[in-house]
Chains A and B, each alone.
Chain A
Amino acid sequence: MEHATTLDHTEDVYEPSLTPDSLGKLGMWIFLVGDTMSFGALLAAYAALRAGAGIVGWVPPDEILGINLTAAMTFLLICSSVTMVKALESIQNGNVSRMCLFLGLTIAGGIIFLGLQAYEWTHLIKHGLTLTGIPEHGLKSATISGSTLFGPTFYAITGFHGLHVTGGVIYLIVILIHGLRGRYTAEFNHEVEIVGLYWHFVDLIWIMVFTFIYLL
């Protein structure tokens, strides 16, 4: 309790004008803005390379990538975002055990997502999508041809996102451990909100990756 009061006091002294309720939240937002640029640069590079290759120079993604599994992965991440907001809502109402339950579900969602991504990558590598080559046979056509940049751009972008999910799962586990030890209360829960910001951002980025890499 005393600990929480001290922290609240500090936040009063250094009250940021953009996020009056927490200084850490402003820090996370600034980090996310920077991170958006990283993903944005990767996606912009992808768009430019693909446009540069022309319509015949780039294999249509649906010839190589299965949409069904990734649509399920997208749905899974959306679900884990919902469990994340539910965790925050629970602790704001002072329900610690409910928060821990929902944090656990969010972590499970992240781990299942990573498992599915590992499965997908293994599958693609076996079929010949590597950093230097594309598969000989497409999902729809007998033979396919196109730029070998398909592989590196695909693995760079989905891999970078996968690393973010991995980081998010570790971050969530740390917050869960704090939660289980009783660190958070109805009054002191900014750290849960901040991990939530990061997690929703990872979800938001996946929405973009899913659209630009898999669907378009």
Chain B
Amino acid sequence: MAENGHKEHPKYMNIFYWLAALTAIEVAVAIPEYATVLKAILLIGLACGKAILVANYFMHLKFEKRTLAIIVLTPFIICVFLVIMLMPDLTLDARLDGIEKPAAEVVDTSSH
């Protein structure tokens, strides 16, 4: 039995404990109110850690060819790029709105 093909089974229960612990930490990190940027960095970091654990051990990516792992990583990079590409379009508008609108109102009230 042992010699046929699948020799090393990762210790799945250890991965499970890690995932459960990381989920608990995530919730603990998310509930209190503090700096949004710090919270975002912590939460995204934890989520990526969990995703890597699932992909590497449950999906056996760690034991596949390296090229496959690189292919699998591509869409994640493209998605980050997509967010960066979309961001200026939307946030710049919002910022300009924030700056211009009060100014326009001030002009309006003074002219009337």
Query: Are the chains A and B members of one assembly?
Result: yes
Interface residues of A (CB under 8 A from B): 17-21, 26, 29, 32-34, 36-37, 40-41, 43-45, 47-49, 51-55, 57, 62, 67, 71, 74-75, 78-79, 81-82, 84-86, 89, 92-94, 186-187, 193, 196-197, 200-201, 203-204, 207-208, 210-212, 214-216
Q: Is the CB of A29 within 8 A of B20?
A: no
Q: Does B90 contact A (CB under 8 A)?
A: yes
Question: A48 vs B39: C-alpha distance in the bound complex, in angstroms?
Answer: 18
Given contacts A207-B51, A211-B26, contact A75 B20 (CB under 8 A): yes
16 contacts between A and B (CB under 8 A): A17-B65, A19-B65, A21-B5, A37-B75, A40-B76, A51-B90, A52-B93, A75-B23, A84-B58, A92-B5, A92-B6, A197-B59, A203-B54, A207-B51, A208-B47, A210-B47
Known A18-B67, A40-B76, A215-B27: A54·B98 in contact at CB below 8 Å: yes
The 6 closest A-B pairs by CB, nearest first: A52-B90, A40-B79, A48-B86, A211-B47, A215-B30, A36-B75
Residues of A within 8 A of B106 (CB): none
Contact B43–A40 (Cβ < 8 Å): no
Query: Are B74 and A211 in contact, CB atoms less than 8 angstroms apart?
Result: no
Chain B minimum-CB-distance residue to A56: B98
Expressed in whole angstroms, the minimum distance between the Cβ of B35 and any Cβ of chain A is 12
Is the contact region of chain B dominated by helix, strand, or loop, or is it mixed? helix
The answer for the CA separation of A49 and B111 in the assembled complex, in Å, is 35
Residues of B near A32 (CB, < 8 A) are 72
Knowing A52-B94, A207-B50 are in contact, say whether A44-B75 is a contact too (CB < 8 A).
Answer: no
B104 contacts partner chain A, Cβ-Cβ < 8 Å: no
